[in-house]
């Protein structure tokens, strides 16, 4: 392989190199949400030089796929190929061509394979036969497959109970960029150098999705870039949300409905509450939808301390979806500078707080490192309690903690996440609220562990007479480590 310029992905690059160096055939599946950089990673590593490569097409028939497959076979082989009548014949033709190659390594790349698996196409059966009967015996063959439809990749390919089951040598999941990788990408690839507060603002809108980040332009303020990407006439990301869901899920409407409901309830909803909000009947459909949204990194499921599985909460964590639903979906297109005008207003302040909270939840390892506890066994939870009166007649107001780090060294970090444009200043009222909530938490959970107040903020906590309650801090800069 040549030297290539890829930001991050060190672990994934090493895995791919290890499989290339092996002395047997390899079937490697690279998966992850759409636009995360799967195709770019594979093509960059191989400098876009394959012995055969083919990409599935969105919403086209089997006949179209087979016609295109024939065209690419002819292009790579330099020979005329009989038009295959089905996928079995298509893979037979691919086998015949690859058999003519005498190389140390034969590299094949099939991209967006979920789109090739059209109804009644028998694509998986034909692929299984191709791999099991021939390709798996070719010690010099390395077959890479990619797919954005994560649910298809996991249920029908990587976890297939049929002919491909157990044949994938190693599934490689590609996550969105972290803040550190985003900073490196913008600086080294795009030549964009901005301060970290501006970078966090961009991340809160676009997430760590390389395809979206690549659309930011040098020497243009972030807020103006957001206007250009979402609100100006012909904005490239204005319709991205709809295409994203149509390309990932066959029944995209219910998926979008669930995401929209969760976007309106930022702290999350139980499964029953989602059923009630959407006026759906009890059944397995919603469970499947929620499971698929979790697998595709749109939603997280969490069970608060002291709660049962039945009380599990589902929360929207995809930053791009949250931004689209809140600001883009109902935009009438009249104001091309909407975002620049909204910045600093109340509704943006509220969104910023929640979006920053989600950014932090995407960077739990960095938070643990900043606290010096990454070597200590710990679990991350949330916690909530409704108002109640105890047996002694004492009334408790109830409370909620969005991030708890429950540690094996008998300490629990109660984390407050605050987004601010300067140091965060505690008030007497807020200090009292924190003390009351900690007392409530100790009373309800009966914990004997030490409870530590931790603040995660952009620029830190301002020192005043109320800041003594803060026992540990994590700042925006720590999230970039």
Q: What would the two tokens of residue 396 be?
A: 């408790």
- The pLDDT assigned to 2 comes to 43
Sheet holding 313-316, edge to edge: 269-270, 313-316, 299-302
* CATH of the structural domain 363-480, one choice from 1.10.1760, 3.40.50, 3.40.1350, 3.30.70: 3.40.1350
Q: What does the domain layout of the chain look like in residue ranges?
A: 10-173, 177-361, 363-480
Alpha helix segments (H runs only) across 249-316: 252-263, 271-278, 284-295
d(CA 374, CA 222) in angstroms, rounded, equals: 33
DSSP letters of 421-445?
SSPBPP-HHHHHHHHHHHHHHHHHH
Q: For 237-276, how does the pLDDT look when each residue is reduced to its tens digit (9 = 90+)? A: 999 999 999 888 878 889 999 999 999 888 889 999 999 9
Q: Which residues of the chain have pLDDT under 50?
A: 1-3
- Report strand pairing: 411-418 vs 399-407: antiparallel
Long-range contacts from 179-187, C-beta under 8 angstroms, 24+ separation:
179/203, 179/208, 179/359, 179/363, 179/366, 179/479, 179/480, 180/8, 180/480, 180/481, 181/7, 181/8, 181/208, 182/208, 182/213, 183/480, 184/7, 184/8, 185/7, 185/8, 185/210, 185/213, 186/213, 186/216
CB 312 within 8 A of CB 270: yes
Residue 184, C-beta contacts closer than 8 angstroms, at least 6 positions apart:
7, 8
d(CA 106, CA 102) in angstroms, rounded, equals: 8
Task: Say what the pTM is.
Answer: 0.90
- The pLDDT assigned to 78 comes to 95
Say which CATH architecture domain 10-173 belongs to. Answer: 3-Layer(aba) Sandwich (3.40)
- The pLDDT assigned to 3 comes to 47
Does the fold of domain 363-480 match that of domain 10-173? Answer: no
CB 383 within 8 A of CB 406: no
Residue 349, C-beta contacts closer than 8 angstroms, at least 6 positions apart:
none
d(CA 87, CA 73) in angstroms, rounded, equals: 13
CA 280 to chain CA centroid, Å, is 27
What is the fold, at CATH topology level, of the domain defined by 177-361?
Arc Repressor Mutant, subunit A (1.10.10)
Q: What would the two tokens of residue 144 be?
A: 């890479």
Alpha helix segments (H runs only) across 25-152: 38-45, 62-77, 87-98, 113-116, 123-133, 150-152
Q: Annotate 328-351 with b (16+ C-beta within 10 A) or e (fewer).
A: beeeeeeeeebbbebeeeeebeeb
CB 403 within 8 A of CB 360: yes
């Amino acid at each position: 392989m040549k030297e290539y310029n890829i930001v991050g992905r060190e672990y994934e690059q090493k895995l791919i190199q290890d499989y290339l160096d092996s002395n047997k055939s390899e079937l490697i599946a690279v998966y992850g949400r759409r636009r995360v950089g799967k195709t770019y990673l594979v093509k960059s590593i191989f400098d876009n030089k394959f012995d055969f490569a083919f990409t599935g097409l969105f919403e086209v028939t089997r006949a179209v796929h087979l016609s295109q497959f024939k065209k690419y076979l002819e292009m790579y082989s330099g020979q005329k190929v009989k038009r295959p009548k089905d996928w079995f014949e298509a893979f037979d033709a691919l086998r015949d061509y690859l058999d003519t190659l005498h190389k140390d390594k034969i590299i094949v790349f099939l991209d967006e394979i979920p789109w090739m698996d059209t109804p009644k196409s028998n694509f998986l059966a034909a692929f299984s036969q191709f791999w099991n009967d021939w390709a798996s015996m070719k010690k010099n063959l390395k077959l890479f497959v990619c797919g954005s439809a994560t649910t298809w990749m996991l249920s029908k390919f990587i976890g297939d109970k049929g002919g491909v089951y157990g044949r994938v040598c190693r599934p490689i999941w590609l996550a969105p960029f972290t803040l550190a990788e985003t900073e490196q990408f913008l600086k080294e690839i795009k030549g964009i150098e901005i301060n970290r507060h501006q970078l966090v603002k961009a991340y809160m809108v676009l997430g760590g999705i390389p395809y979206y980040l690549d659309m930011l332009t040098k020497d243009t303020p972030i807020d103006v870039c957001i206007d250009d990407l979402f609100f100006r006439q012909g904005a490239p990301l204005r319709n991205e949300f709809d295409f994203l869901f149509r390309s990932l899920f066959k029944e995209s409407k219910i998926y979008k409905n669930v995401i929209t409901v969760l976007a309106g309830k930022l702290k999350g909803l139980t499964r029953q509450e989602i059923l009630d909000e959407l006026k759906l009947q009890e059944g397995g459909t919603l469970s499947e939808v929620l499971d698929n949204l979790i697998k595709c990194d749109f939603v997280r499921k969490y069970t608060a301390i002291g709660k049962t599985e039945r009380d599990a909460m589902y929360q929207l964590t995809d930053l791009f979806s949250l931004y689209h639903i809140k600001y883009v979906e109902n935009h009438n297109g009249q104001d091309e500078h909407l975002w620049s005008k909204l910045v600093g207003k109340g509704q943006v302040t509220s969104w910023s707080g929640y979006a920053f909270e989600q950014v932090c939840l995407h960077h739990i390892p960095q938070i643990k490192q900043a606290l010096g506890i990454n070597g200590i066994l710990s679990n991350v939870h949330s916690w909530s309690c409704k108002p109640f009166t105890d047996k002694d007649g004492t009334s408790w107001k109830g409370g909620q903690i969005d991030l708890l780090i429950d540690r094996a060294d008998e300490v629990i970090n109660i984390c407050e996440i605050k987004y601010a444009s300067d140091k965060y200043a505690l008030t007497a009222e807020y200090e009292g609220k924190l003390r009351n909530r900690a007392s409530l938490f100790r009373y309800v959970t009966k914990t004997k562990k030490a409870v530590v107040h931790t603040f995660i903020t952009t620029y830190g906590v301002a020192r005043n007479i109320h800041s003594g309650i803060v026992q540990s801090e994590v700042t925006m800069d720590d999230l970039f480590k």
